[in-house]
Structure 1
Amino acid sequence: MKDIFALLKQGSKASLTASIVNFFIAGLKGVAFLFTANVAMFAEMMHSLGDAINQFFVFIGSSLSKKPPTKRFPFGFGRLVNLVCVFAVVVVGILAYETVKEGIHHIVEPLPGTADTSMLLINIGVLGAAAILEGYVLYKAGKELLGQAGQPQDGLKPLTLSFKHMDRAKPATKLVFLEDTVATSGALLAILAILVGRFTGFAQAEGIASVIIGLMMFYIVYKVFMENAAGVLGESDPYMEQRVAQIVLRHEEITDIQKLFVLKEGDNLHVEIVAETDPDITVEHANEIRDEIEALILEQSHVTDVNTEFEVDDGRRAWPETQEQMDRRSKRSKKSKEE
């Protein structure tokens, strides 16, 4: 039992917070829907419930993914968070379908509007509170996302700059940020639809809002499924591969890279390198070079393990030279000519 609690403590706090907030919001919207029978409120309730379930699954998956490697699973359980997300979005997909279906039904057969001001205030009040709470979670998720991407987090950057750096975030943080972006905008859209329906008499507005919210949910299903399916299969990280290559080639005694890949293992990155070096160096010195390079790579965000091997320089270029390497080669050539 202690082991389970220890793993849960390592789970994604952003996912747990978002799940609790969304369960609370779904309850508020459910009560409001029972009193008002408002279809836009129903769509929002389903959206919040789907987000809460999805984020709770992600929290559990991110916790269990921190389980240390075993003899049977030597690379650990990092991809478990991707597998859990793939199954979780099935639930959200079902809820999205029901939301779109309900919206279409109310476009074809709109409910008559009501002049009851108290019903209007209930709907606007609940959706307004939901938008504020969802916006708070979105801001916190944006800050966490920028922190993982190594970007500044001040001011409104968590709400603006985060979209540019989503690819550098952990899967759980990215999911929370995407879902709460849709949740916040969905609550505001539902408020707009209710006001349009009330003051213009356009009864189909709420049904249209429900369809739009459902389609946004489908987008999250698609986005989350595709990214986590790739994670389950074993996806490379091209951005980190280039960064690691720069670190390796910056070392004066590394002449080339034969092979390099960075594999995503859930929240973690696994690095494999085969580098070329001078054939005259000793084994002891090669180990020193390996330790220096691996220490620098392990300082990079999300990198948990590095496996480095050396081969003798074969004289053929396998990896593009860096500017630093070209400068070093030019200096050596110039010095050789002078001698």
Structure 2
Amino acid sequence: MKDLVSLLKGGNKPSLLAALVNAFLGTLKGVAFFLTGNVAMFAEMMHSFGDAANQFFVFIGSALSKKAPSPRFPNGYGRVVNLVCLGAVLIVAILSYETIKEGLHHFLHPATESSGMYIALSVLAIGAFLELIVLNKAAKEVLHEVGVEGKGLAIFQSVRYLKRAKPATKLVWMEDLVATGGNVLAILAIVIAHFTGFYRLEGLVSIIIGLMMFYVVGRVFLDNARGAIGETDEEMLVHIGNLVMQDPNVADIARLEVIKEGEFLHVELVAETDSKLSLAYLDDVRDHLTELLLNQKGVTKVTMAFDEDDGERAWTHTATIPEGNKGRI
């Protein structure tokens, strides 16, 4: 039990916060939908409950992914978070379909009037405000994970670094961006429908919200499918390769792999050296390089071997330093 609690403490905090906020908002929107019958509110209720379930599973997965390697699973449990995200998006896909279906029905058969406009608007305004807070929290976490200092509203600054964020944080960022936009769209639909009588707009907005949810499903599915298979981190591969080549004892790199294991990076390296160097000396070189690489952002495992220099240069990448690793060389 203590081990489980310890693991949960290491779970992705933005995803837990987002799950709690969305569960509260889903309940609030459900009550508002029951009172008003507004289809845009129905779409937002489904969206919030879908996000809550999704983000809760992601929190659990991110916590379990930090479990220490075992003899049976020597590479650790890093990819668990990718598998959980793949399962979680199925929930969102189902709710996206229901949202679009309900919106299409309302578009083809619109209500003649929406009741409880002020209830709906109040709930949606609360939702937009809370989702914006969670989105900014996720944006700050993105910047923290890549080692960049956040300034002011972190949402816009985080867009640049989103690709390098951890899978759980990226999912929360994307879902809450869509959720914030969905709340704003629903507010506009209700106001415009009320003053123009064009109640089909509420159904149209419901369809748009459902399609936005499907977009998140597609992006998250592709990102985590690659992670579950085992994707190379190209930027870190070049950075680590150039870092190794700066060592005077390394003549070339015969093989280098930098594989994403969930939120972590595993490095496998075969370096070419002078055949005259003793094993004892090379052992010290390996210890130094291993310590250096483990100090790089996200690297948790390094496997290194040496081979005789064949006189032909294989490593030709130009130097690049990921922002989160500046100052670590």
| One-letter identity of the residue aligned with 1:121 | Y
The aligned counterpart of 2:326 is: none
Q: 1:152 offset after TM fit, Å?
A: 2.2
Work out whether 1:10 is the aligned partner of 2:6: no
Show the 5 A alignment for 1:172-321.
172-320=168-316
| One-letter identity of the residue aligned with 2:209 | I
Quote the Cα distance in structure 1 between the aligned partners of 2:112 and 2:23: 30
Q: 1:151 offset after TM fit, Å?
A: 1.7
The aligned counterpart of 1:124 is: 121
Quote the Cα distance in structure 2 between the aligned partners of 1:167 and 1:287: 36
Show the 5 A alignment for 1:27-46.
27-46=27-46
Runs of 4+ in 1 over 2 A off after TM superposition: 321-324
Quote the Cα distance in structure 1 between the aligned partners of 2:19 and 2:210: 19
Quote the Cα distance in structure 2 between the aligned partners of 1:49 and 1:69: 34
The aligned counterpart of 1:333 is: none
| One-letter identity of the residue aligned with 1:242 | V
* Percent identity for Structure 1 against Structure 2: 53
Quote the Cα distance in structure 1 between the aligned partners of 2:94 and 2:124: 23
| One-letter identity of the residue aligned with 1:284 | A
Quote the Cα distance in structure 2 between the aligned partners of 1:151 and 1:195: 40
Quote the Cα distance in structure 2 between the aligned partners of 1:77 and 1:295: 22
Q: Deviations over 1:24-53 (max 9, x none)?
A: 010110000000000000000000000000
SS at match of 1:306: strand
Tell me, which stretches of 5 or more residues in structure 2 are unaligned? 321-329
Does structure 1 conserve the Cα–Cα contact (< 8 Å) formed by 2:239 and 2:319? no
The aligned counterpart of 1:152 is: 149
Show the 5 A alignment for 1:39-78.
39-78=39-78
Does structure 2 conserve the Cα–Cα contact (< 8 Å) formed by 1:247 and 1:293? no
Tell me, which stretches of 5 or more residues in structure 1 are unaligned? 325-339
- Normalised to the residue count of structure 1, the TM-score between the two structures is 0.92
Does structure 2 conserve the Cα–Cα contact (< 8 Å) formed by 1:254 and 1:276? yes
Name the stretch that deviates more: 63-72 or 129-138.
Answer: 63-72
Quote the Cα distance in structure 2 between the aligned partners of 1:175 and 1:300: 24
Larger radius of gyration: 1
Name the stretch that deviates more: 296-305 or 47-56.
Answer: 296-305
| One-letter identity of the residue aligned with 2:113 | G
Q: Deviations over 1:193-225 (max 9, x none)?
A: 101101111111111110110000001111111
RMSD: 1.3
Q: 1:4 offset after TM fit, Å?
A: 1.1
Quote the Cα distance in structure 2 between the aligned partners of 1:322 and 1:170: 26
| One-letter identity of the residue aligned with 2:19 | S
Q: Structure 1 residues 225, 294: CA separation in 2 closer, same or farther (over 3 Å shift)?
A: same
Q: 1:321 offset after TM fit, Å?
A: 6.0
Does structure 2 conserve the Cα–Cα contact (< 8 Å) formed by 1:256 and 1:318? yes
Name the stretch that deviates more: 315-324 or 202-211.
Answer: 315-324
SS at match of 2:251: strand
Does structure 2 conserve the Cα–Cα contact (< 8 Å) formed by 1:249 and 1:322? no
Q: Deviations over 1:245-274 (max 9, x none)?
A: 111011122111111011111111100011
Q: 1:322 offset after TM fit, Å?
A: 5.0
